[in-house]
A = this chain, B = another copy of it.
Amino acid sequence: MSTAKKLELSPIQNNALRVSHLLRQLSHPQRLLILCLLSGGEASVHEILERTELSQSHLSQEINKLKAEGFISSRKEGRLIYYKLHDQRIKKLIQSLQKIFC
């Protein structure tokens, strides 16, 4: 049903939907910050925790969202978990944002 509805959309509407959905993830300050940090390379959850202003639990949830979207991927090493950017388009976007706004 929602699939059918999506298929009815014009290509432009569809693009707007796709891209806006993805931008929603970047529209939260701490999530954006996480992606910026990771654009500089891999980091453990603990390292990210120190550089964002989130509680442990909250950070974990936000990381989950980014992972669910396929933006980041993880690697386990002992009891640490390292995350890194997984989507090249997101990497490009972060770079564009830095170029334009920072």
Does A68 touch B at the CB level, under 8 Å? no
Q: How many residues of A contact B (CB 8 A)?
A: 30
Number of copies: 2
Give CA–CA (A100, B17) in the complex, Å. 15
Give CA–CA (A24, B20) in the complex, Å. 9
- Majority-rule SS of A interface residues: helix
Task: Decide: A20 and B28 in contact? CB cutoff 8 A.
Answer: yes
Please judge, given known A-B contacts A96-B93, A100-B92, A101-B89, whether A30 and B16 are in contact too, CB under 8 Å: yes
Contacts of A23 in B (CB 8 A): 23, 26-27, 32, 97
**Which A residues fall within an 8 A CB radius of B?**
12-13, 15-24, 26-33, 36, 53, 89, 92-93, 96-97, 100-102
Given A15-B102, A20-B32, 6 new contacts (CB under 8 A): A16-B32, A19-B32, A19-B97, A20-B31, A23-B27, A24-B27
